[in-house]
Structure 1
Amino acid sequence: MLPIPTKFCLVVGHGEGDQKLNAFDAALLDAGVGNMNLLRVSSVLPPKCVYEEVFKMPAGSLLPIAYGSLTSDVPGEIISAAIGVGIPEDPSSYGIIMEFSGFCKADEAALTVEKMVREAFAMRNLLLKEVKVKSVEHRVERCGSVIAACPLFYEVPCEGC
């Protein structure tokens, strides 16, 4: 069993590549998580998880992460991704993470994901203290990708980060 993460942040990135996987890799690098081993998780923010503005972990770390992404090879197409985190009124309760990606502008993606967070809290009868949202958009040149993510991490020594 892995320990429960104690910290989270919001990251976004976009990038181009010759192939879809390379475009996605470029977006991961732009978001600052490209050199991690990502463990995709679903939508629960652990209780007492604290928001950190800055994210740093050693390359190769196992990183629990919730994310939305989109890749396109249609030149001129606008793609976006957004991540939203609902912080509960009760700090001992869990929160909710929602992700969205689509063929729209970043502000539309941000509004959509915020609505998703609010609905998820209402469905669970949780009191919402705050919603944090981050979004990104990209106009595809040849093959583009976007990612919006919520890394969940721990207080770890980070020599050489």
Structure 2
Amino acid sequence: MKISLTKGASEGPTKLNAFDNALLDANIGNVNLIPVSSMLPAEVEKIPMPELKPAEMTNCVLSHQYSDNPGDEITAVIAYALTEEMGCVVETKAINKPLKQLEEEARFMAEYMVEKRNLEIIEYECISQTHTVKEKASVIAALIYHDPIRH
């Protein structure tokens, strides 16, 4: 399976417009996002974010945060941990919380998920998006699944 990490931030005249603009900033604003839970197969290939077809059905794990309080610092974080057998994806978000604290929280959650499965992490990656709100703003971080689901 191929995956990509992406992130975006933007302002907008409404909550929905700010969110949509953040998705556009992350190059996933023209697709239908299907939220999925947090599991990856063992064989994952991380690729740069490709151009997606408009209206394509796209599976993802999405973290997003919104605020309309000027001066707020909003953050969204996505991380994944791979093991020999499988992988786990985590997301977190906050308003006015230090980025380092959020990244540590993501790492803790990923390590816990892997430990509960009696597995060991062989690869870990985390991305984050932070933005200082001017009027109405949204941030997103996402892990995008590119291959279709097979049963």
The two structures have a TM-score, normalised by structure 2, of: 0.92
CA displacement at 1:82 relative to structure 2: 0.5
Q: How do 1:21-100 and structure 2 match up within 5 A?
A: 21-88=16-83, 90=84, 93-100=85-92
Q: Matches of 1:151 and 1:125 in 2, distance apart? A: 26
The two structures have a TM-score, normalised by structure 1, of: 0.86
Q: Matches of 1:121 and 1:60 in 2, distance apart? A: 34
Confirm or deny: 8 A CA contact 1:105 1:137 kept in the other structure: no
CA displacement at 1:56 relative to structure 2: 2.5
**How many residue pairs are counted as aligned between the two chains?**
147
**Residue 124 (structure 1) aligned with residue 117 (structure 2):** yes
Q: Matches of 2:99 and 2:41 in 1, distance apart? A: 27
Q: 1:134 aligns with which of 105, 123, 127?
A: 127
Q: Runs of 5+ in structure 1 lacking a partner?
A: 1-5, 156-161
CA displacement at 1:77 relative to structure 2: 0.5
